[in-house]
């Protein structure tokens, strides 16, 4: 690749923020000790939760399927180690509300034994459909944070013509450096995964966007590309402006194209994946391994030794902090994700999942507690920094008033919840919380409407079924009455025939008696019946 950088574009808004990357990149990536128990939520992705295919008491091996994808937009879950399925129960998960969800609790046996059949594989002969099936079977989701099933993004549909793949290595949020370390240490494997993704998508061009505050990652990828030249792959250095790592923003910077409102990149011929997703695809295709771990940053002034770890899914946050030297006296808040888009955890016993990229143990100096909220002064600073080109002030007013129709008119679902507006707000209004609330309320209304529509349809079907059954009963009764009338008519005829036959029999009998009387023998010829009769007949 030529060092003369090609032209780049600029998206609206954004912020220059302190990176705080170097705190966690000074040490090589290592794997923490294997925990005794792994807590594996059945939903670690966008879409329907996976369906368990093991039962309590089952012994499983590393890489074995624990829960299968339930539907098209879903992702399978595999065992990060060998052990015993201890329970399948509700457990707290990393979520802003602190809610619980169905989870598989796996007790490790310490052997870490892989399941048979996961051997090196030749992915060269696989076509696009076979590649997608293998990605789906490996449970791979987007590792940039959204955790959207990767196989779905690899199947944009025959009506869309794709032109290129973009690999996102921007990692723009402060403190997070897991993708930076991944590109430094696994550059060749990332390029291998990029080639496989291009084949699955049927494109020949791939752009890898990396912010200019990651010189080591840039150098590692350029060296790997030089060692294995691919004219269709380019590494692009982009300015460090938050949130360049947003999918739509990175596409704008690299190509100058705008993803349409409420649309997806495939509509303009582009598919965007994270560099971590590319690595997971490489391991699934060449090693036959499902997605069971990822790089995670553990950082902040509240942890003794900030660094990056390769972590098995289901590992409790407390284990990661312990692997980094434990808490310091400056620990104030525990946040999963970065300071802009992450959220606070109520406990460190929740597990990390596929979408987890950072554990930030922040001090009060790093992330001061927000002061009291003051009224909006209509300064317009939020509008100037919004990377999606929205009107945050209007969204705030309508979300606060619960006018969800107006909120949607102002494109609330185009908000990427980057937090730029809340960061610059002089009144310290938690704007993103209002937008999240509005989105959640709208989704809830839509679900209730779907339920009501379904109930109405079921009621209508029930009425139609009752009318149909009523008509069917009436038809059966009518048919039965007709049959009875025919039967009654036949009975009367039979009765008449019987009466006639009886009458004839009686007449015949009467006629026989009459004939018998007219031809009877004379009195003298009768045989005496008694002794007196005989005496009378014997006299001279």
For residues 329 and 377, membership in a common domain is answered with no
Q: How confident is the model at residue 75 (pLDDT cuts 50, 70, 90)?
A: very high
Q: How confident is the model at residue 539 (pLDDT cuts 50, 70, 90)?
A: very low
For residue 483, the model assigns a pLDDT of 80
pLDDT digits (tens, 9 = 90+) for 409-448: 999 999 999 999 999 999 999 999 999 999 999 998 998 8
Last residue of a domain, one of 430, 455, 478: 478
For residues 167 and 98, membership in a common domain is answered with yes
Q: How confident is the model at residue 229 (pLDDT cuts 50, 70, 90)?
A: confident
For residues 380 and 432, membership in a common domain is answered with yes
pLDDT digits (tens, 9 = 90+) for 446-487: 988 889 999 999 999 999 999 999 999 999 888 888 887 766
The residue with greater pLDDT, 526 or 198, is 198
Averaged pLDDT, 256-263: 90
Averaged pLDDT, 350-368: 95
For residues 136 and 159, membership in a common domain is answered with yes
Q: Assess if residue 509 is contained within a domain.
A: no
Average pLDDT, the chain: 90
pLDDT digits (tens, 9 = 90+) for 280-322: 999 999 999 999 999 999 999 999 999 999 999 999 999 999 9
CA distance 142 to 135: 11
For residue 532, the model assigns a pLDDT of 53
How many Cβ atoms are within 10 Å of 443's Cβ, its own excluded? 11
For residue 488, the model assigns a pLDDT of 62
Averaged pLDDT, 98-120: 88
For residues 402 and 350, membership in a common domain is answered with no
Q: Assess if residue 317 is contained within a domain.
A: yes
Last residue of a domain, one of 449, 478, 507: 478
Q: Assess if residue 71 is contained within a domain.
A: yes
For residue 524, the model assigns a pLDDT of 46
pLDDT of 180 > 50? The answer is yes
| Pairing mode, strands 65-68 and 358-362 | unpaired
Contact 91, 39 (CB under 8 A): yes
pLDDT of 526 > 70? The answer is no
For residues 224 and 264, membership in a common domain is answered with yes
For residues 377 and 351, membership in a common domain is answered with no
Last residue of a domain, one of 459, 478, 497: 478
For residue 124, the model assigns a pLDDT of 67
Q: How confident is the model at residue 334 (pLDDT cuts 50, 70, 90)?
A: very high
For residues 269 and 387, membership in a common domain is answered with no
Q: How confident is the model at residue 540 (pLDDT cuts 50, 70, 90)?
A: very low
Three-state DSSP state, 473: helix
Contacts of 401 (CB under 8 A, 6+ apart): none
Q: Assess if residue 367 is contained within a domain.
A: no
Q: Assess if residue 29 is contained within a domain.
A: yes
Reading the block at residue 33, the tokens are 């000790």
Q: Is the dihedral of CA 391, 392, 397, 401 positive or negative?
A: positive
pLDDT cut 90: percent of the chain above it: 76
Q: How many domains is the chain partitioned into structurally?
A: 2
Contacts of 450 (CB under 8 A, 6+ apart): none
Q: Assess if residue 66 is contained within a domain.
A: yes
Domain residues for the domain of 251 are 22-110+132-360
pLDDT cut 70: percent of the chain above it: 91
DSSP string, 344-406: E-S-TTSBP-TT--EEEEE-TTTSPPP----------HHHHH-TT---HHHHHHHHHTT-HHH
Q: Assess if residue 181 is contained within a domain.
A: yes
How many Cβ atoms are within 10 Å of 353's Cβ, its own excluded? 24
For residue 178, the model assigns a pLDDT of 97
Q: What totals of helices (H) and strands (E) does the chain contain, helices first?
A: 14, 16
Contact 80, 101 (CB under 8 A): no
Three-state DSSP state, 17: coil
Going by C-alpha positions, the residue among 293, 287, 265, 294 that lies closest to residue 179 is 294
Q: How confident is the model at residue 50 (pLDDT cuts 50, 70, 90)?
A: very high
For residues 300 and 351, membership in a common domain is answered with yes
Q: Residue 92 belongs to a domain with what CATH number?
A: 3.40.50.11540
Averaged pLDDT, 503-523: 67
Q: Assess if residue 145 is contained within a domain.
A: yes
DSSP string, 158-191: TT----EEEEEE---STT--HHHHHHHHSHHHHH
Contacts of 187 (CB under 8 A, 6+ apart): 217, 220, 221, 223, 224
Contact 332, 302 (CB under 8 A): yes
CA distance 423 to 384: 12
For residues 81 and 165, membership in a common domain is answered with yes
Q: How confident is the model at residue 510 (pLDDT cuts 50, 70, 90)?
A: confident
For residues 350 and 381, membership in a common domain is answered with no
How many Cβ atoms are within 10 Å of 290's Cβ, its own excluded? 24
For residues 36 and 83, membership in a common domain is answered with yes
């Amino acid at each position: 690749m030529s060092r003369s950088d090609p032209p780049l574009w600029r998206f609206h808004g954004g912020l220059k923020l302190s990176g705080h990357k170097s705190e966690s990149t000074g040490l090589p990536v290592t794997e923490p000790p294997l925990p005794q128990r792994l807590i594996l939520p059945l939903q670690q992705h966008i879409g329907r939760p996976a369906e368990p295919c093991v039962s309590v008491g089952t012994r499983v091996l590393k890489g074995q399927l624990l829960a299968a994808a339930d539907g098209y937009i879903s992702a399978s879950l595999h065992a990060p180690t060998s052990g015993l399925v201890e329970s399948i129960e509700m457990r707290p998960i990393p979520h802003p509300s602190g809610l619980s969800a169905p989870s598989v609790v796996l007790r490790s046996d310490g052997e870490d034994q892989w399941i048979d059949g996961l051997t090196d594989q030749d992915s060269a002969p696989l076509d696009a459909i076979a590649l997608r099936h293998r990605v789906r079977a490996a449970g791979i989701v987007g590792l940039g944070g959204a955790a959207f099933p990767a196989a779905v993004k690899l199947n944009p549909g025959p009506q869309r013509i794709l032109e290129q793949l973009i690999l996102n290595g921007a990692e723009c949020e402060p403190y997070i450096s897991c993708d930076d370390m991944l590109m430094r240490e696994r550059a060749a494997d990332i390029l291998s995964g990029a080639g496989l993704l291009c084949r699955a998508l049927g494109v020949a061009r791939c752009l890898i966007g990396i912010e200019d505050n990651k010189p080591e990652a840039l150098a590692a990828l350029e060296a790997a590309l030089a060692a294995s030249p691919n004219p269709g792959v380019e590494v692009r250095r982009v300015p460090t402006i938050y949130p360049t790592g947003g999918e739509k923003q990175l596409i704008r910077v690299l190509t100058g194209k705008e993803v349409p409102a409420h649309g997806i990149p495939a509509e303009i011929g582009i598919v965007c994946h994270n560099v971590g997703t590319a690595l997971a695809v490489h391991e699934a295709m060449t090693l036959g391994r499902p997605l069971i771990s990822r790089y995670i940053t553990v950082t902040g002034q509240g942890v003794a030794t900030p660094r990056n770890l390769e972590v098995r899914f289901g590992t409790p946050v407390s284990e990661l902090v312990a692997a980094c030297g434990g808490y310091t006296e400056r620990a104030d808040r525990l946040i999963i994700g970065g300071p802009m888009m992450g959220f606070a955890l109520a406990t460190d016993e929740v597990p990390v999942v596929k979408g987890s990229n950072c554990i930030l143990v922040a001090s009060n100096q790093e992330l001061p507690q927000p002061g009291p909220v003051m009224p909006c002064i209509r300064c317009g600073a939020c509008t100037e920094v919004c990377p999606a080109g929205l009107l945050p002030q209007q969204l705030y007013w309508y979300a606060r008033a619960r006018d969800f129709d107006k909120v949607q008119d102002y494109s609330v679902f185009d908000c990427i919840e980057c937090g730029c507006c809340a960061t610059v707000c002089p009144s310290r209004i938690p704007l993103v919380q209002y937008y999240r609330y509005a989105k959640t309320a709208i989704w809830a209304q839509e679900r209730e409407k779907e339920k009501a529509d379904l109930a109405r349809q079921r009621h209508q079907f029930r009425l139609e079924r009752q009318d149909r059954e009523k008509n069917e009963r009436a038809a059966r009764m009518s048919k039965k009455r007709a049959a009875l009338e025919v039967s009654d008519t036949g009975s009367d005829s039979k009765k008449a025939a019987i009466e006639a036959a009886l009458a004839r029999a009686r007449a015949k009998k009467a006629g026989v008696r009459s004939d018998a009387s007219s031809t009877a023998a004379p009195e003298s010829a009768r045989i005496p019946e008694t002794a007196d009769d005989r005496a009378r007949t014997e006299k001279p």
